[in-house]
Amino acid sequence: MGGAKNSVLKLMAAALLAEGTSVLTNCPEILDVPLMADVLRGLGAEVEIDGETARITTPAELNHRADFDAVRQFRASVCVLGPLVARCRRAVVALPGGDAIGSRPLDMHQTGLRALGAHSAIEHGCVVAEADSLRGAEITLDFPSVGATENILMAAVLADGLTVISNVAREPEIVDLAAMLTEMGADISGAGTDTLMVRGVERLHPTTHRVIGDRIVAATWGYAAVMTRGDISVTGVDPATLGVVLGKLQDAGATVTARENGFRIVSRERPHAVNVATLPFPGFPTDLQPMAIGMACVAEGLSMITENVFEARFRFVEEMVRLGADARTDGHHAVVRGVEQLSSAPVWSSDIRAGVGLVLAGLCADGTTEVHDVYHIDRGYPNFVDNVNALGGEVERVS
């Protein structure tokens, strides 16, 4: 299992917090990594990517502006906001365009930075934050937002005094970020709980850090095994980070064996329907909701899938219907009655996870399914086509 997309991009941004060369190992070979490298270069850093290793050299003076051209292709680029405010006391980061999974406002990012003493506004299509100095504060998030937690944490590590952030995201990728920041000299406690305590330090130093394995990609292969009645072993990911997900696959009838650094999933029969509700970690991840829908489409019985994190994440369900799924959505619920056989059709992917969910459904359909706009998949899944073929699927990339 390669490194986690949702970790590596933030770790690359964290490297901006210390002058000198930080090294990240186990970087996934996905499109978002070179895109993030370009964002960092635009800010004045030097970035060298060699296979699974990224070397980021941060200068004493950073450019505080991330322009639209650099950030427009992916939303995660907004995670340079916290480091820029911390290092330069000024940040201007262009707002990336709308996302196909729903609106993604930055109000909590801004509220947190304001509490630390920054002025923040949206101006001319950019989020702007400025502070004469940053000082520790008590901050309670309205919702455990992953991105807001990360930006506030990365600003607080160089603020003056103690910051206590409550109702934070507890995702393993936050724990990974806190681990790297601690290796850089930050004083952080509570990572993985709902409260982070950060005592600001004057400066951080570069480090070498290994990115954690991608639990979303790992679990995707688990879904692939259950949907196609296969036998799969995944290594390089902590199964404890997938507790709820592996439990759902077990409820669907698969034999799930957790191992020290991975898991095995064996499925011989048609999966049973299971209900799923997405929630912040340790709940069921919204990023696996399309796989849960995919499994529901071929399972025996009626599944109810509830999306609680991104309001528009059901748009791809109509593509599943094109493949013969018996599915309907109402607000943030999807009700799916599994069918014995999906039927191939041309379908369009709207984001990384929906694209993969459609490919998995295509593996269960008779005939040849054409999935369009698959560039989304390249953003988050390394060697996707080769991996599916190595596992016995038949996928061909057509340019």
Q: Which residues are annotated as a binding site?
A: 5-6, 75, 287, 309
Q: In Å, what is the CA distance from 198 to each residue of 75, 106, 114, 262, 281? A: 26, 22, 16, 32, 21
Q: Which of 108, 184, 212, 217 binds ligand UD1 (CB under 6 A)?
A: 108
Decide if 99 is catalytic. yes
Site for ligand UD1 contains 77 (CB under 6 A): no
Q: Find the shortest distance in angstroms from Cβ 107 to ligand UD1.
A: 5
Task: Choose between 98 and 301: whose C-beta lies nearer to ligand UD1.
Answer: 98
Site map (CB under 6 A) of ligand UD1, residues 161-200, x = contact: --------x-------------------------------
Site for ligand UD1 contains 6 (CB under 6 A): yes
Site for ligand UD1 contains 145 (CB under 6 A): yes
Determine the Cα–Cα distance for residues 141 and 323; give it in Å rounded to an integer.
Answer: 40
Determine the Cα–Cα distance for residues 321 and 337; give it in Å rounded to an integer.
Answer: 11
Long-range contacts formed by 19-22: CB under 8 A, 24+ apart? 19/58, 19/59, 19/60, 19/203, 19/206, 20/57, 20/58, 20/205, 20/206, 21/55, 21/56, 21/57, 21/58, 21/206, 22/55, 22/56, 22/58, 22/184, 22/206, 22/207, 22/208, 22/209
Site for ligand UD1 contains 225 (CB under 6 A): no
Segment holding 216, helix H or strand E: helix 215-228
Site for ligand UD1 contains 9 (CB under 6 A): yes
* CB half-sphere exposure, 35, CA atoms < 13 A: 22
Query: 28, 17, 73, 63: which is closest to 218 by C-alpha?
Result: 28
Q: Find the shortest distance in angstroms from Cβ 114 to ligand UD1.
A: 12
Site for ligand UD1 contains 146 (CB under 6 A): yes
Task: Choose between 230 and 380: whose C-beta lies nearer to ligand UD1.
Answer: 380
Cβ-Cβ contacts under 8 Å for 330 (sequence gap 6 or more): none
Site map (CB under 6 A) of ligand UD1, residues 268-307, x = contact: ------------------xx--------------------
Q: Which stretch binds ligand UD1 (CB under 6 A): 140-148, 224-232, 258-266, 342-350?
A: 140-148
Residue nearest to ligand UD1 (CB): 147
Question: In the chain, how many H helices and how many E strands?
Answer: 14, 23
Q: Find the shortest distance in angstroms from Cβ 172 to ligand UD1.
A: 11
Q: Find the shortest distance in angstroms from Cβ 169 to ligand UD1.
A: 6
Q: Find the shortest distance in angstroms from Cβ 227 to ligand UD1.
A: 21
DSSP H helical segments within 234-369, as ranges?
243-251, 289-298, 317-322, 352-363
Determine the Cα–Cα distance for residues 273 and 296; give it in Å rounded to an integer.
Answer: 6
Site for ligand UD1 contains 310 (CB under 6 A): yes
Site for ligand UD1 contains 309 (CB under 6 A): yes
Q: In the chain, what's the furthest Cα-to-Cα distance? A: 63
Task: Choose between 8 and 299: whose C-beta lies nearer to ligand UD1.
Answer: 8
Place of tokens 């934050």: 129
Site for ligand UD1 contains 56 (CB under 6 A): no
Q: Which stretch binds ligand UD1 (CB under 6 A): 56-64, 106-114, 242-250, 336-344?
A: 106-114
Task: Choose between 12 and 327: whose C-beta lies nearer to ligand UD1.
Answer: 12
Q: Find the shortest distance in angstroms from Cβ 149 to ligand UD1.
A: 8
Determine the Cα–Cα distance for residues 56 and 327; give it in Å rounded to an integer.
Answer: 46
Q: Which of 34, 133, 143, 247 binds ligand UD1 (CB under 6 A)?
A: 143
Report whether 112 contacts 141 (CB < 8 A).
Answer: yes
Q: Among all residues, which ones are annotated catalytic?
A: 99
The binding site for ligand UD1 (CB under 6 A) comprises 6, 9, 76, 103-109, 143, 145-148, 169, 286-287, 309-310
